[in-house]
Structure 1
């Protein structure tokens, strides 16, 4: 027994002994209530994650329908300012893929932020008989002109991811665009990946049992690594059995009597071992059991199967246009008369001409680590910060963030 224990039980020199009180009963035979839980999860307990969808209204102020030459285009927007930042999504996504980026950018720079549903995507209603780059570019120019005129904006900045990046470059090449931001698309890499695109599309589940299962698949498969982004983005990529885009009727689905069938609770995951636990040994061999890899867990637990929810657009039918989307992308990007920023998930995506152009200072480049192809969903805060820095430093917008300042010398190439 230690000296401290003796003092506590037997009394110290100063007579500061603690009395050994018996447990107090709040009623005959009833122990007093226990202390409230601390909020810490017991080691080995099961984790439950919510995959419930989120409405677009959480991130955007307005949703409007703008008429084009042969269709009606859906545009989400928020904020105000002299500059319009128009966000263009990639193939299969919708304008909602930019929800978290728009939310962050709104806090960083004085500008109007808008995200369009491209032809054949989201809530936009337009013929998909022609999905060529020329048609998509004409659509974006038409919508951008309407937004600039209605908002009296002085400058236009285009931000495009993947297919949206190719469309942004095509529009910017013709002039009238003050800033151009292209996210994770380079001509050489894009054309090479087309050989595997049909296989990738076939590997995806074609139907989902519920909206929550679609979101869960999105996160576990790695399409989006940010669950908050997946909750608002995935409803813009799937439709119900009546052909309605889920994001367009998400409020009705949440209040529906069949909510439990439409939005299911999260599945139970494997319990997490405590940090100081010892690896389990195989009873027969006495060796440590190898842990399952993340890919194995994803393939086994990612939900799929039959269900009333399907993809909003069948990308496989657009194959005749794939090569045309990315042809001459490098030359057009370098020739565009705009301030330019290229964001990539890895430097290995750069081809020779882009490497030369970057060394010559023809554009700014930023590589974000630990992200997938959907950079804007995986790391929306970093993407928003990069865009804010880009437009503020090129004097296209005023800063709302003290960490984003205008340099003495403009960075525009």
Structure 2
């Protein structure tokens, strides 16, 4: 990577920043959820704090108080997925009509399904219930846990093929009767985009109708070139926070999430209370998952993404933040009309959190253009 390109990468990253409960499930406040963040604006490096926890704690900022996800999804439930050995946390608002479409959302590494909360509400409102939204916590994140053998986030296997199988298995459990299943639009942010692209043909092999696949703010070549900088970015993050409100405030102040309302919903799900009897110098809240522990998987997550995206047998949409460049394969594919490209200005890496209204407009327009296309008319991305 040239010095010029490296400096441009560093500059960009520096700027970046309920289904009512199931039977026998006690209603809970989603503000107690927890997980961390990936590429974008982590602010200046933070020196480890050695001040006793009780001495440095400041009153929480009420303007950054957590918001429950119950106002954004109709349902929050745990779904048993035996083929993945997972008890998956799912957030779901079903379509209001029998022939509706469900937007299936896969978050990026370190985040949670609640990353899509504000966008989900916008989609259901703007589509007037024609589109439902399903988001979930990936293995090792949020409230998803193992059915048999408990694992810590550090020992969790986040292999790309396993994550892809998890998504396929979850869809097959939730929509067990494929003949009665709704049409699906797969939307994936960062790592989630790579998973959705790989899951698309597998779901089609199981006879699911996939209207389209949307990849959010990830380009293979750029991402692979930026991966060597990830450790520096992780070093720049604080090791934790003294309150959930402080965690929310940090994400907003560093422009990691530019929408305070979204941060108040999603950030509580990416931090957890420090273990009991932990050293007094540790913050009261720590990141749920150590992103550094996922480093062995980073390259495999994104290698081959462009080719797999362009070969998807469905409509294709690429949503980018700002004026992100395309790699060679995507440039050629765009010139050949193989996919729709939308650039959303004024947002960071977390496009769907920063501007959920515009994201919803883009997703709905993509869905309307490609859903149940009249015979003889090709979908966006079809030759």
- Normalised TM-score (structure 1): 0.68
- Give the corresponding residue for 1:72: 87
1:174 aligns with 2:212: no
- Give the corresponding residue for 2:161: 134
Name the CA shift for 1:324/1:219 in 2 (closer, same or farther; >3 Å).
same
1:326 aligns with 2:283: no
How much does 1:145 deviate?
1.5
Question: Is the 2:318–2:341 Cα contact (8 Å) retained in structure 1?
Answer: yes
Unaligned runs of 5+ in 2: 1-60, 205-209
Question: Is the 1:94–1:236 Cα contact (8 Å) retained in structure 2?
Answer: yes
Select which of 343, 348, 367 maps to 1:391: 367
Question: Is the 1:344–1:368 Cα contact (8 Å) retained in structure 2?
Answer: yes
Deviation string for 1:89-130 (max 9, x for gaps)? 011100000000000000122022110101111110034532
Alignment of 1:144-293 (within 5 A): 144-149=171-176, 152-174=180-202, 176=204, 177-242=210-275
1:87 aligns with 2:105: yes
Unaligned runs of 5+ in 1: 1-47, 244-304, 398-405
Alignment of 1:32-111 (within 5 A): 50-68=63-81, 69=83, 70-80=85-95, 81=97, 82-109=100-127, 110-111=130-131
1:119 aligns with 2:139: yes
Name the CA shift for 1:62/1:338 in 2 (closer, same or farther; >3 Å).
same
Deviation string for 1:13-56 (max 9, x for gaps)? xxxxxxxxxxxxxxxxxxxxxxxxxxxxxxxxxxx871111011
How much does 1:147 deviate?
2.2
How much does 1:175 deviate?
5.1
Number of aligned residue pairs = 296
- Give the corresponding residue for 2:343: 367
User: 3-state DSSP class of the match of 1:122?
Assistant: coil
Query: Which sits farther off after the overlay, 98-107 or 195-204?
Result: 195-204
- For residues 240 and 77 of structure 1, the distance between their equivalents in structure 2, rounded to whole angstroms, comes to 26
Name the CA shift for 1:238/1:150 in 2 (closer, same or farther; >3 Å).
farther
Question: Is the 1:173–1:335 Cα contact (8 Å) retained in structure 2?
Answer: no
Q: Which has the larger radius of gyration?
A: 1
Select which of 327, 336, 339 maps to 1:351: 327
- Give the corresponding residue for 1:9: none
Please give the root-mean-square deviation of Cα atoms over the aligned residues, in Å: 2.1
Name the CA shift for 1:150/1:199 in 2 (closer, same or farther; >3 Å).
farther
Question: Is the 1:101–1:376 Cα contact (8 Å) retained in structure 2?
Answer: yes
- For residues 385 and 409 of structure 1, the distance between their equivalents in structure 2, rounded to whole angstroms, comes to 23
- Normalised TM-score (structure 2): 0.73
Question: Is the 2:211–2:371 Cα contact (8 Å) retained in structure 1?
Answer: no
- Give the corresponding residue for 1:275: none
- For residues 317 and 181 of structure 2, the distance between their equivalents in structure 1, rounded to whole angstroms, comes to 21
How much does 1:242 deviate?
4.9
- For residues 219 and 142 of structure 1, the distance between their equivalents in structure 2, rounded to whole angstroms, comes to 35
